[in-house]
Amino acid sequence: MKKELTIHYTQFSRLTDLGLEDQALLVEAREQQANAYAPYSKFKVGAAVRLENLQIIGGNNQENAAYPSGLCAERVALFASAARFPNVKIEALAIYANSKNGNTVLSPCGACRQVMQEYESIHGTSYKVLLMDQDEKITLFNSSSDLLPFAFKLG
């Protein structure tokens, strides 16, 4: 039997098209980019998580001379959030990076998607994922699971 999966996402062309909370989260992700440590790839990424208790926790990619030891911005932010507030649900994750050409939607790597979806699973709620580039081109997914169908789950 053939089956089909459809995902929905929304694109905006400027920050002010979003609600104030999401605007603020994307601005935080953009500010977080400045502290990325990316001397090897020179590709800086910023991220920010908004929790249900309204805490905002930022992160950025952190590279290392032993390349695989580095970590993406999304996971730095998500792990920091979970380390500090393990039982607080996530409302939204914002990610900011510069795109090379205006047509490509910047979107998280596969390993980050796996981590993103597990926090939805353990909290039993989905959260928004907001992506933005330097031109304020924004892509919104209503669930991180939209970015990873058939995620690996134990049990």
Q: List, by residue number, the catalytic residues.
A: 74
C-alpha 45/C-alpha 42 separation (Å) is 10
Burial 91-111 (b: 16+ CB within 10 A, else e): bbbbbbbeeeeeeeebebeee
- Taking the complex as a whole, the smallest distance from the CB of residue 133 to ligand THU amounts, in Å, to 13
Q: What is the largest CA-CA distance in the chain?
A: 49
- Taking the complex as a whole, the smallest distance from the CB of residue 20 to ligand THU amounts, in Å, to 26
In 3D space, the residue among 104, 32, 90, 84 whose CA is nearest the CA of residue 61 turns out to be 32
Of 63 and 118, the one with the shorter C-beta distance to ligand THU is 63
Of 53 and 149, the one with the shorter C-beta distance to ligand THU is 149
Of 107 and 142, the one with the shorter C-beta distance to ligand THU is 107
Give contact residues for ligand THU (rule: CB under 6 A): 38, 41, 43, 45, 61, 63, 70, 72-74, 108-109, 112
- Taking the complex as a whole, the smallest distance from the CB of residue 40 to ligand THU amounts, in Å, to 7
Residues listed for the chain = 155
